[in-house]
Chain A
Amino acid sequence: MQVPVTEGVFTWPSDEPRLIGSKCLECGNHMFPVQSGCPRCTAANTEQVELSRRGTLWTWTIQGFPPKAPPYMGNTDPATFEAFGVGYVELPGEVKVETRLTVADPEQLNIGMEMEMVIVPLTTDDDGNEVVTFAFAPVEGSQS
């Protein structure tokens, strides 16, 4: 079965998974992940909200070498490691979230292109479960 890398960061299981953040009840600022205090206005009065599933790519890079484990849970074998994209996706009117990208080719990534949240496999745990995390994928046909 599939298990999330953690609880409380994205809705799962779900046909339309969303990131879980906070909204400040004083100034309306959105935060990700959930937190109790607002860095914008300093109030400590927030509510939990589900964030938008779609946004635009604000910037990106490509992770070209295996991250250290720990903390990384994915494949760190230099022989089979596959580069992966990382970026910030701006969710309109909410917040920019840092995320893995499903694309790792500089030719296919453009600042401003439309992105949508998906769930991707990360690793397999000791019990044979597939551990999944969130990522953003280019929306079909979007070229910024």
Chain B
Amino acid sequence: MLRSYLLLAGLLIASFAIAQKSDYKPMKDTTGFKNKIDLMGKSTNTIESDFVQVKDLSMMSEKITSNGHFCFKKENLLRWEYTTPYKYMIVINKDKIVIKDEAKTTHYDMNSNKVFKEINDLMIASVQGNILKSGKFKVVFLESDKDYKLELYPLIKGMKESLKKINMYFDKGVTSVIRLEMEEPTGDSTKIEFMNKKLNAEIADAKFIVK
């Protein structure tokens, strides 16, 4: 159960990326933005991208940078993989979750674990950008000249203690989530920046099978 909660919180972080210093104002047309998000969810069948994750440990004045690659395929296939400086992978394949670290591969059945069901829903919703429909966050809509920014404040007890805020960024065309940032109450943060993104490219189902 503990491992499940850790994973739940961690997966949220894994879905977020770097915020740029910009002046953000309240979004003028939130209805139009939500419509674009809906369209994005419907028109995106696959996403493939490299990412750089930077964990900023404020008190220790240390940063841990890791690189990886992720693939998403509708309806419910996700592969989130760290390649350097360590190997770690999470694969969601419909009702199965596989976690592979450097020492062990563990298989979980989503239906037998409510927490994993929650993980799946949040992970997929984050990648597709429709996390604001989940009802698990209070959402503040902002925009700048360059992009859109959503500030998500957790409403769920247990998540509030370890997560202060999530910033989710979209390009002006609202084609995909471009950056995310997670802030913890302690001042630490996790930032993930996506690069080399491919939308709707062919991804083999075999990518989502781990033995």
Partners in one complex: no
- B residues lining the A interface (CB < 8 Å): none
A residues in contact (CB < 8 Å) with B: none
